[in-house]
Amino acid sequence: MGFFDDTISLSAPPEGRVEATAKVTGSGKYSAEYEVASLCHAVLVGSTIPAGIIKSINVGNARQVEGVIDVITHLNRPMVPAFADEAKIKEARFGLPVFHTDKIYFKGQPIAMVIAETLEDATYAASLITAEYAADQFNVDFEKSYKNAELKTAGKDRGTADSWAETPSVVEAEYTIKNEVHNPMEMHATIAHWTAENELKMFDKNQGVNNVQRMFAKLYNIPAEKIHVVSEFVGGGFGSGLRVWPHCLAAVIGAKAVKRPVKLVLTRPQMFTLVGYRPESWQKVKIGADNSGKFTGILHQARHATCVYDNFNEGITRIARLVYNFANLRTESATVPLNLSMPTWMRGPGDCTGDFAIESAIDELSYKLNIDPVQLRLQNLALEKDPDSGKKWSTNFVDECIKLAAEKIQWQNRKAAIGAISDGDWKTGYGMAVGMWNAGRSNASAGIKMLKDGSITVQTAMTDIGTGTGTAMQNIAKDATGISKEKIRIELGNSNLPPAPSQGGSTGLSSISGAVAAAVNALKMKLAGFAAAENDTYKNVVGADIILSDNGISYKTTNQQFVPYSVIWEKNNLQVLEVEASSAPGDERKQLAFCSSAAHFCMVKVNTKTGKIKIEKMVCAADGGTIVNEKAAANQISGAVVGGIGMALMEEQLIDPKLGTAIGNDLAGYHFAVNADAPIVEVIFVNKPDVNSNPSGSKGLGEVGIIGAAAAIANAIYNAIGKRLRDLPITPDKVLMG
Amino acid sequence: MIKFILNDVEIKTDLKPGMLLLDLIRYNQQLTGTKIGCREGDCGACTVLVGEIKNGHLEYSTATSCLMAIGNACGKHIVTIEGINIDGLNAIQEAFAKEGATQCGFCTPGFIVSLAGFSLDKSTPTYERSIDAMNGNICRCTGYKSIERAAKNFTEILGQRSTQEPVEFAVDNRIIPAYFLKIKERLLKLNGQDTQSATAGNKFLGGGTDLYVQQHDTMPGEAIGFLFDKTELKGINQYDDVCEIGGAATVADIAVSPVFQKYFPALKEYIELVSSTQIRNMATVAGNFTNASPIGDLTIIFLALDAKLTLNDGAQKRTISLRSFYKGYKQLDKKADEFIEKISFVLPAETDRFNFEKVSKRTHLDIASVNSAIKISMEGNVVSSASISAGGVGPIPAWLSNGSAFLTGKEITPENIEELLKIVQSEISPISDARGSEAYKRLLLSQLIKAHFIKSFPALPIQNLLHG
């Protein structure tokens, strides 16, 4: 059965996504929902101190609970080969070597795991485990620590640092953003099953099955093909599934220890400390312009938090180097190690953070110069070439994004004067910002299986975390083959299928579209090989000349030199025709620069009495090359924009500096936008192909929908009430007291 | 033995009545379409329909199964996403599929069940109501826009319902499967039997929306005294100028109560700021009082209304004022064996003003940073009595006795309001926490009190009280 097969009979498949039926009926199986024989349940116990050494762990009471099979700690865990000694632990580059040392790096770090017959037994037994520690000094206070982290140059300087500092208009300001947590709706979960001594099967929530496979091959020193990772339905990721996290290894260690399949599902509070977050940051931007509004130079400094047991670098200053022409530029960065778990990439990593500071500063500069913010940006964009690499852009339509979005929100209704539009206590403001992302592409493979009836199954290991990868594959296969959508099945999210990169960084569609196109070409050539026995025309053909239909193969135009599949299958006694092909970016990536971009415009109402903020409308115009599926792409952008509202107004993971504890680590305490917070969102696409990007002409859209949204909102708030709020999230208290 | 109908199947179980419905659904019945997103009622991914016979009618509402004890499901029809699947896609599912309103898909079953609840509600099916029905469902992928479009398209189908019974219409229009037509009969038959296991205990449980969050690990095993379905604790009634609310009446009951709608014209605005549809369907007013949160929205409203509570220990009753119910942080004037049987208060007279204000970090589905309510009676231009309450400004929900006393006998002038604010500031003790700093909470309460006057006395020249 295929991954997205319907368990419910349908006379005709519904419009929309390939897996829609499974999702709307609740029949799609997510990682924690597989029934595996003799499955047992694991629950993690977290440390109660943020730094120190475990002196002893009392597991006696837990072991006596009925149904408990084992309790794993660093004292009794089966050795993970890659952690055999301290030197190897670093080499493994796994981050936290869970259960392998007595060291505590952050509060909530797993120190023990109860494995029991039922989740209830495991949960109860876990509550009985206590530990004694030799506590160390710890530091979780970014605000008090960041100044001590020495800034270092990040990237090559342009021009000089000081030549522009005295230009007529200079804005210099600091910006801070609190920790943000991905919080996909599905909690991370792993079912680990050692099916033989050195053979591992996992049902796991992640964004890249091959990545998980490679990591466990390295950790256990076994061949990758002995590890089978299944991630068919993934309930969101936003970056949290791009790493292999400690709970995932814990489940695998547990399964080894009890010689049974083990299921480990994180609780929502554990989602705040065990699967990454966007780290807290400080930035300073100094930007100058001459009287005409031409940017003269920029200094962008950034520091962000990281953990003490590994390093993570966001690349916050990257965006300063990308969007605009700055003759003089300097970017500096530093990381601040804290006793917290490891941060990771979260939707629009680095750029999302950096963009907020830069686009806020440009807005401030526009008021200083008395130049419309739209105009100021248009006259400074680097549209010809990537200012950093010097390579010509393959395509860069950020200017069109700005113009399209300005028209849609009716920018002419904006008043340059602060608070000029008001209705009682409510002031209306308009703001805008742009976002950009490097439109990457990686090597990827896809396979096709064809049956006699002309139906095909297109396969890849790539996951679909909700972005619509499967649907895009179906669209691309349909266009490339000519076979109707109803006859195209999709299989994905399984390491037994042709390998593919992780789904992240907006590279999924670019990478897989090349692979699907290559596989279709391989299918055509293979069919042509068989057809040549029936019709000489097919003896020396290229894929581009071959047209497929639901029933057979044709040459150049439909039904010309037609050979039915039935003939090919019968004469060659075929059951299934299988092809696999891979596709990689070529020289074009060496010669050209690639970017996706977006312009975000916001209309906001701010209540001067209560500090409440109500976003009325968001407009996002985006350049993602050719839009393969407009509805899916627009939905993707809408979701990212509303994610940007969360970033701007709500999302913050607070840490108690005295205790090192995450505060409000549940969905009651950590706020992202609910439906009532979501304004009118209008999405427009430039929709022009980037022919160098990949065969579909598309460029990734996953990130640009959020990069710039927060700055547009903050800029609109300034236009409404004249308060320049540089600390995210902008909660009512900051509006009232700022 | 606990008995209820789960989808098309009658459940008879000896499982502990405190067990959560979500666990029974997923682990006991292996119906994994109902998702777990938070286990605290915040996300709605585990939403189910709850059907019960009320006044001879089969009525459906929605609930988050993660906070619902199976003891509260007795004699009812519980419906999961699997229970509304038909041959092919149902009309809600079709609308979702068509609009791409499912992305990662994890929240989707919850949204669809919420809309199914909307389709079975006898109120006129408007687009606005369809959106309200999903206000307890959160999504991290879509930004809700595609979901709104799906709801809009689906509501158009419901628009053709006219006078037909919602269940019948929904079956006829491929919204729910045909077995729903027999449910009323089956429930009536079931309700003739003993559906609840004989349980008693001093751990009283109303809707469970707070207890199962606060005491998640221990509640399932407790000896529970179930209050939620006790007929004698239901209902909201008016006797002359007094309103009586049963100890098991829910926030949703208040929202649809003709008494409340008549006496509190802005009721809808207040209720919109109190949790979500699913939680309002479960949460009792009495429960909001007994959880003793210093910022319970309803507690603050009823403090201003000077509500009286009738406590019952099974043998004896006593009546106390809500204002004297709180003795310290989470300390109540209530013995372990007492439960709130009844809440009563004097309804506002025509010349009285009532207002409720709330500010939270997130406008909707959030706990207040500060909330406040006011009731003012006027004789001509002079305040004859005033009652101001505030939450989030001290260890207990605060009735501001000094401020209330000060206002009595005064005219509503900017000067008097400024003086009132000074007095109020001296009788509160907010602390800095995740919901705001002390200074902010002090400022915010002053702003909210100003807002009370501006909203309550639109004709008076006090509008320019509000600078910044």
Q: Complex ipTM, two decimals?
A: 0.96
Question: What's residue A15's pLDDT?
Answer: 64
Burial level of A12, CB count in 10 A (0-12/13-18/19+)?
exposed
Report helix angle B438-456 to B414-426, nearest 10: 150
CB A410 within 8 A of CB A610: no
Question: What's residue B465's pLDDT?
Answer: 65
The rounded distance, in Å, linking the Cα atoms of B106 and A187 is 10
User: Is the CA virtual torsion A504, A508, A511, A515 positive or negative?
Assistant: positive
Burial level of B9, CB count in 10 A (0-12/13-18/19+)?
exposed
Instruction: Name every chain A residue with its beta carbon within 8 A of the beta carbon of B100.
Output: 16-17, 20, 468, 631-632, 635
Q: Residues near A455 by Cβ (< 8 Å), separated by ≥ 6?
A: A483, A487, A488, A489
Helix or strand run (H / E) with residue B421: helix B414-426
Domain B353-467 architecture: 2-Layer Sandwich (3.30)
What is the 3-class SS of A376-420, one letter each residue?
HHHCCECCCECCCCCCEECCCCHHHHHHHHHHHHCHHHCCCCCCC
Minimum distance, in Å, between the CA of residue A337 and any CA atom of chain B? 24
CB A326 within 8 A of CB A295: yes
Report helix angle A508-531 to A469-481, nearest 10: 30
**Amino acid identity, position A72:** I
Pair of tokens at residue A603:
């209309």
Instruction: Name every chain B residue with its beta carbon within 8 A of the beta carbon of A664.
Output: 434
Class of the CATH domain delimited by B91-176? mainly alpha
Helix or strand run (H / E) with residue A130: strand A130-135
CB B202 within 8 A of CB B117: no
**In degrees to the nearest 10, what's the CA dihedral of B439, B440, B445, B450?**
110
User: Contact B87/A614, CB-based, under 8 Å?
Assistant: no
CA proximity to A284, closest of A266, A302, A257 = A302
DSSP single-letter state for residue A299: E
Q: What is the CATH number of domain A34-137+183-274?
A: 3.30.365.10
Q: Which of B93, B99, B466 sits opposite A425 (nearest CB)?
A: B466
CB A234 within 8 A of CB A30: yes
Per residue in A487-500, pLDDT (tens digit) is: 999 999 999 999 99
Class of the CATH domain delimited by B2-84+179-221? alpha beta
Burial level of B44, CB count in 10 A (0-12/13-18/19+)?
buried
Domain boundaries, chain A: 34-137+183-274, 281-440+590-737, 441-584
Q: Residues near A117 by Cβ (< 8 Å), separated by ≥ 6?
A: A40, A41, A67, A69
Could you tell me what percentage of chain B is helix, strand and coil, using 3-state DSSP and rounding each to the nearest 5? 35, 25, 40
Instruction: Name every chain A residue with its beta carbon within 8 A of the beta carbon of B443.
Output: 736-737
* Ranges in chain B, pLDDT < 50: 468
Q: Which residue of A has its CA nearest to B145?
A: A638
The rounded distance, in Å, linking the Cα atoms of A719 and A366 is 12
CA proximity to A313, closest of A329, A299, A298, A302 = A302
Window 252-281 of A: residues touching B by CB (8 A cutoff) are: 265, 267-268
The H-assigned helical ranges of A439-507 are 469-481
User: Best interface-test mutation with A: which of B363, B421, B440 has the largest number of A CBs within 10 A?
Assistant: B363
A430 beta partners: A603
Residue A23 sits at the chain B interface (C-beta within 8 Å): yes
The rounded distance, in Å, linking the Cα atoms of B217 and B427 is 37
User: Contact A267/B443, CB-based, under 8 Å?
Assistant: no
| Alpha-carbon B180 to chain mean position | 27
A76 beta partners: none
DSSP single-letter state for residue A434: E
Q: Which of B27, B85, B105 sits opposite A235 (nearest CB)?
A: B105
**Amino acid identity, position A591:** Q
CA proximity to A665, closest of A677, A653, A673 = A653
Residue A11 sits at φ, ψ, to 5 deg, of -70, -40
Instruction: Name every chain A residue with its beta carbon within 8 A of the beta carbon of B455.
Output: none
Domain with CATH 3.10.20.30 in chain B: 2-84+179-221
Q: Which residue of A has its CA nearest to B99?
A: A16
The rounded distance, in Å, linking the Cα atoms of A671 and A602 is 20
Q: Residues near B189 by Cβ (< 8 Å), separated by ≥ 6?
A: none
Q: Which of B30, B140, B145 sits opposite A184 (nearest CB)?
A: B140
Window 670-689 of A: residues touching B by CB (8 A cutoff) are: 671-678, 681
User: What is the CB neighbour count within 10 angstroms for residue A496?
Assistant: 13
Class of the CATH domain delimited by A441-584? alpha beta
DSSP single-letter state for residue B27: I
Instruction: Name every chain B residue with its beta carbon within 8 A of the beta carbon of A654.
Output: 434
Classify each residue of B287-315 as buried b or exposed e, where b means 16 or more C-beta atoms within 10 Å of its C-beta.
bbbbbbbbbbbbbbbbbbbbbbbbbbeee
Domain B230-346 architecture: 2-Layer Sandwich (3.30)
User: Contact B93/A24, CB-based, under 8 Å?
Assistant: yes
The total number of residues shown for chain A amounts to 738
The total number of residues shown for chain B amounts to 468
Instruction: Name every chain A residue with its beta carbon within 8 A of the beta carbon of B87.
Output: 8-9
Helix or strand run (H / E) with residue A194: strand A189-196
Class of the CATH domain delimited by A281-440+590-737? alpha beta
Strands A227-230 and B331-332: unpaired
User: What Å distances lie between residue A543 and A260, A450, A480, A534, CA to CA?
Assistant: 49, 17, 10, 18
Q: Which of A16, A25, A654 sits opposite B100 (nearest CB)?
A: A16
Q: Which of B93, B94, B359 sits opposite A612 (nearest CB)?
A: B359
Instruction: Name every chain B residue with its beta carbon within 8 A of the beta carbon of A650.
Output: 361-362
User: What Å distances lie between residue A553 and A196, A531, A545, B342, CA to CA?
Assistant: 45, 8, 10, 78
Pair of tokens at residue A162:
């000081």
- Percent of chain B whose pLDDT exceeds 70: 98
Domain with CATH 3.30.465.10 in chain B: 230-346
CA proximity to A83, closest of A246, A308, A263 = A246
User: Contact A466/B148, CB-based, under 8 Å?
Assistant: no
* Ranges in chain A, pLDDT < 70: 1-15
The rounded distance, in Å, linking the Cα atoms of B288 and B274 is 11
CA proximity to A625, closest of A510, A500, A464, A468 = A510
User: What is the CB neighbour count within 10 angstroms for residue B257?
Assistant: 20
**In degrees to the nearest 10, what's the CA dihedral of A30, A33, A37, A41?**
110
User: Contact B140/A631, CB-based, under 8 Å?
Assistant: no
Minimum distance, in Å, between the CA of residue A652 and any CA atom of chain B? 10
The rounded distance, in Å, linking the Cα atoms of A442 and A515 is 10
CB A71 within 8 A of CB A115: yes
**Amino acid identity, position A544:** A
CB pairs under 8 A between A and B: 253
Domain with CATH 3.30.390.50 in chain B: 353-467
Window 25-84 of A: residues touching B by CB (8 A cutoff) are: 25-30, 33, 35
Window 173-202 of A: residues touching B by CB (8 A cutoff) are: 183-187
Helix or strand run (H / E) with residue B111: helix B108-119
3-state secondary structure (DSSP) of residue B460: coil
DSSP single-letter state for residue A488: E
- Edge-to-edge strand order for the sheet containing A488-491? A488-491, A456-459, A444-450, A577-583
Q: Which residue of A has its CA nearest to B83?
A: A25
Domain with CATH 1.10.150.120 in chain B: 91-176
